[in-house]
Each structure stands twice: as C-alpha cells, then as structure tokens.
Structure 1
Amino acid sequence: MRLYETKARLTAATIAVVMMSFLSTPVGATEFASYDPASEVDVELVLAVDISQSMDEEEQQVQRRGYVEAITSSEVMEAIRIGPTGRIAVTYIEWGGIGEQYVVADWQVIDGPETAMSFASKIAESPLRQVQRTSIAAALSFSVAHMNKSGFSGLRRVIDISGDGPNNQGGQVTAARDDVIAHGVTINGLPLMLKGTGNGWYHMPNLDHYYEDCVIGGPGSFMVPVYSTAEFGMAIKTKLVMEIAGLIPRDEISIYPAATRKPIACNLFN
C-alpha cells in the first residue's frame, strides 16, 4: 500500500526510565564525574541524502523542501518533546560516489522550534549540487564515522539513508551495512522509486526489496518507499516521527518480509 493511503499518527508514547546505582568506589566516582548531561540526547540521527546524477534538479528541490518542512513540523516537534530528554542531535549529509560526501548541516541539537528552524535554514540555503555514481557503501561508512565523532551520547543511533538506485561503486554494500550495525547503529531507508519499472545503471525495479535485503538493518530498522514527488513530504515526516519517537512501523508502510519472495542479489551492480 502506498504511503499516501496511510494516515500515520502518533497515538501514545510510553517512556521507560531505568535507574542505575553507582558503587562508591574511586573508579565509579571518576566515571560519574566525567558524565556530561549536555551531551545526552534521545537520538543521534544522520540524514544521508542521495544527490547522484539520476536525481534531477526538480527532484532534489522537492527532496530538500521535504526535509525542511518535516524537521520544522508540529508532528516532529511533538515527537522530540515527549522523549526522555526532549532533544535530539542531527546532521544532514549529501552523498554520491566514493569521496563525494558533503556535510550540508553539521551536528546540532534540536529541542524546539527555534533550533529546528536554525537547522532547517542551513539545508534550505545550501546550493544544490549533483555528482556522479551511487555509493551507498561509502555513504554508510562516512555516516558512521561522522557519528562516532559527534560528541553526543544518544540513547539510540540512527542513519536515515535515501536513494533512487542500487550501490554501483565502493565495494560491497552488505559489508558496509554490517559494519555500521556492529557499531550499534540502526539503518533506516527511504528508497525513491520515481523512475517507474525500468532497469538500468541508475535505477532498478523493486528498489524497496533491494533496500530491505541489502541496505537497512539493526534493531527496529524499517523503510518507507516513495513512489512520486508528491509523496516526498509525507514520507519524510512520517519517517522522522517514527525514528525520533522509536515507534515500530505499522503494516501499511512496511513491505512483505523477504521470506515471501526471491532474495535480491545485493552485489549485482557493484
């Protein structure tokens, strides 16, 4: 079922607070003293956005606008507000082939409308760029490295990656995925299925299946396929709310499990 047929809503949130006791030893006291509450956030979130040449200027503009509107939306603000700390740390990265990753908006805490608008304005004001090739593997590796030096301590760590084609450069995408998961990071996907059913260098049919089998992973991972530019805004908003609130995806926006179909050959385009 397509996204526009789904009315995603946040009905309730249950927050479990785990209390930990510290032994009164010199080691414990040192660890407690080094704790910085300013670094704690509910989610460390990387927004990794495809800008390869298969994304034309109109699609890039719609994509940018979708992120700007979603980040500043009342739904996303509410999802942040109800979290244990009421704040998230987020960065916006654009990517293409090997060595083509650009930090458009670096790590920033979002804890309300003002900080959300500040972050969104950095995205909106950055000039559009278009690059060659599609290296999901390189994008994932860059994203987890950038996350590891964020300076924040997130209760959850998520890479949200969008793209309109398979990995065609930079080694095995499954190896990069597994390395990210080993760092305790969840990968969610936004497969952009805007090019119909054709198959070729720039896109492939059943890209959602490819993302399920080869790209996403980690605890609670999910994806939201996008079938038209009209769906961009709602797709991005729905995805951000779910990631920030830590919700489990509903059946209407998930896809059939891989066990019900033939697995995708993940390295076919490498």
Structure 2
Amino acid sequence: MPITRRAALASALLPTALPVATAEPVDLALALAVDVSASVDFAEFGLMMGGYAAAFRDAELIARATSGPRGAVAVAVLLWAGPGEHDLAVTWSRVGGAEEAEAVAAAIDATPRILPPGATALGEALMASAALLARCPFPAARRVIDVSGDGPANAGVPARAGRAAAEALGITVNALAVVHEEPELEAYYAEEVITGPGAFVLRAETYEDFAEAIRRKLLREIGAALVA
C-alpha cells in the first residue's frame, strides 16, 4: 500500500541522536512512540520527556533491564504528530547498565520539539514505529511499541491499520492514555490500538501523573520480556 510505503520511507529518513552500538542481542527492543500533536502543549511535552528521562535513571528499571538472559534492552524514541510528521529523537541504543541508561536519559532530556503541532495520525505512527523496529540492529527476543498520547486518531490511516502492520511483524503494542481531555481514551486504546501477547493500557489522569505512569509501564514491559 502507498501509505505503508510512505510511513516506512519517512521513518527510514529520520535523523539520529545517538550512535548505534555493536549489534549485540537484547531481551527487548522497545520503540517509544510519543504523541506531539496539537493537543500536547510545550509544558506537557516537557513533562512527558522529563518522565521518560527519569524512568531511565530509575534504579529499579535499570536493574530489571539488565536482569534478563541477554542482560540488556534496546530503546529508540519516535516523536509523531500528523501524517508524514515523524522525528527520531533517540536512535536505537542498547541499555545494559547505568552508564548506557544515563546516555539515553540525557538524549531524551535534550530532545527539542522540532515537529510542528499537527493532527493525530496514530495509525501512521504505529506503522512508522513498526518499520523502526523492523530495522533495529539488535537481535531481540521480543519487540514492543510503547505508544503514549492524549487523543484518538483524527488524520491519516485508521489506528487499526497501524495495529495490523505491527501484528504482521509479530510486534506487541502497549499504550499509555493521558485522559484529562479524553475520558474514553483508555477504552479507545484498548479497542483500537493494543495488540500482542500480554498487551495492556495504562492511564495517567493528567500530564502531572505521566512520569510515574510511564515508569510503571516500562517496568511492566521489560518484566514481560524477561519471562516471555
């Protein structure tokens, strides 16, 4: 399909923020897909990115990420908004200890909001994230898209089309719903977005709750990979 090819091409041309390390096997490849559409203001963007950075400085998360048989996870961060609007904030990076986790956290902290605030092309964001995972240089026992946002798709291909692209590659999709403006978003993500073994949705009532919610979500995702 032209839309699928466009999403794959767009993600292939994204800039990088960290150099790719030696392609050693990991327990989990995790694509963090972050909504930066018009519904997310600059303060909320700061709370999201601060929450992700804090999570990778969390001692419990680092211990869990390094406790699997391969001793590491791989992480990339994709910002997304409207159709064709993607920005790879952090390229594939191996987290096998505190120093590598800090490098990822620092890169997230330094991420500017480059994309213009556009529509919410969630389906295309899932396609771009699936394409990003397909190109992960680290052989992974499990692959997951971790999508976070505060609204349903309102542009581009339907969310279900993006979910189908992930399903076709054996990728799990989990979601974090920020529900302060969309009380039904958690149910929407459960119905239209998540897929795969053990897939789940967590909710944050507001962006002030985001940091703790994403920490819990990442702990759960990493933990699931270790027992898969």
**TM-score, length of structure 2 as denominator length:** 0.86
**2 CA distance for matches of 1:126 and 1:82?**
28
Q: Which residue, out of 88, 103, 109, partners 1:118? A: 103
1:140 to 2:136 alignment? no
CA contact (8 A) 1:143 1:159 kept: yes
Which residue does the alignment assign to 2:207? Answer: 229
Runs of 5+ in structure 2 lacking a partner?
1-21
What is the Cα deviation at residue 147 of structure 1? 1.0
**2 CA distance for matches of 1:96 and 1:70?**
23
% identity of equivalent residues: 36
Which residue does the alignment assign to 2:58? Answer: 73
CA contact (8 A) 1:100 1:131 kept: no
Q: CA RMSD in A?
A: 1.6
Q: Secondary structure at the match of 1:162?
A: strand
Q: Which residue, out of 205, 216, 219, partners 1:241? A: 219
Q: What are the within-5 Å matches in structure 2 for residues 1-270 of structure 1? A: 38-129=23-114, 130-195=116-181, 204-246=182-224
**2 CA distance for matches of 1:64 and 1:175?**
27
What is the Cα deviation at residue 70 of structure 1? 0.4
Structure-2 change in CA distance of 1:100 and 1:113 (3 Å): same
Runs of 5+ in structure 1 lacking a partner?
1-36, 196-203, 249-270
Number of equivalences: 204
1:71-93 residue CA offsets vs partner (Å, 9 max, x unmatched): 11011111112111110110011
**2 CA distance for matches of 1:224 and 1:74?**
21
CA contact (8 A) 2:65 2:222 kept: yes
Q: Secondary structure at the match of 2:196?
A: coil
Q: Secondary structure at the match of 1:154?
A: coil
1:141-177 residue CA offsets vs partner (Å, 9 max, x unmatched): 0011111111221111000001111111112211220
Structure-2 change in CA distance of 1:247 and 1:185 (3 Å): closer
Q: Secondary structure at the match of 2:102?
A: helix
1:20-70 residue CA offsets vs partner (Å, 9 max, x unmatched): xxxxxxxxxxxxxxxxx9531000000000001111111111111000000
**1 CA distance for matches of 2:173 and 2:224?**
13
**1 CA distance for matches of 2:133 and 2:82?**
19
The residue type equivalent to 1:63 in the other structure is M
Which residue does the alignment assign to 1:198? Answer: none
**2 CA distance for matches of 1:139 and 1:175?**
10
Q: Secondary structure at the match of 2:202?
A: coil
**2 CA distance for matches of 1:216 and 1:83?**
24
**2 CA distance for matches of 1:229 and 1:148?**
30
The residue type equivalent to 1:227 in the other structure is E
CA contact (8 A) 1:136 1:167 kept: yes
**1 CA distance for matches of 2:176 and 2:136?**
23
What is the Cα deviation at residue 205 of structure 1? 3.2
The residue type equivalent to 1:116 in the other structure is A
